[in-house]
């Protein structure tokens, strides 16, 4: 039973730690954004053509 109680406390502290990690992980998340930005344009061209064809 002790492990379950410890896990519960860890779960409650994990979310807070995740928040801090996300705020401190702004630089690593920036590089992936440029990649995604290049992918959306190609996907947007396909949906736009479909919308115009309709």
Residue 41: pLDDT band (50, 70, 90) is low
What CA–CA distance (Å, rounded) separates 52 from 46?
A: 10
Please name the residues in contact with 22: beta carbons below 8 A apart, sequence gap of 6 or more: 29
Determine the length of the chain: 54
Q: How many domains does the chain have?
A: 1
- Decide: residue 3, CB within 10 A, 0-12 exposed, 13-18 middle, 19+ buried: exposed
Question: What's the whole-number mean pLDDT along residues 47-54?
Answer: 62
Banded model confidence at residue 34, pLDDT cuts 50, 70, 90: low
d(CA 10, CA 32): 29
Range of the domain at 7: 2-53
Return the percentage of the chain with pLDDT > 90, whole number: 0
Model confidence pTM above 0.75: no
């Amino acid at each position: 039973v002790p492990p379950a109680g410890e896990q519960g406390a860890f779960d409650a502290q994990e979310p807070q730690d995740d928040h801090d990690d996300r705020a401190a992980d702004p630089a690593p998340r920036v590089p992936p954004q440029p990649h995604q930005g290049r992918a959306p344009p190609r996907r947007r061209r396909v949906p736009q053509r479909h919308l115009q064809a309709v």
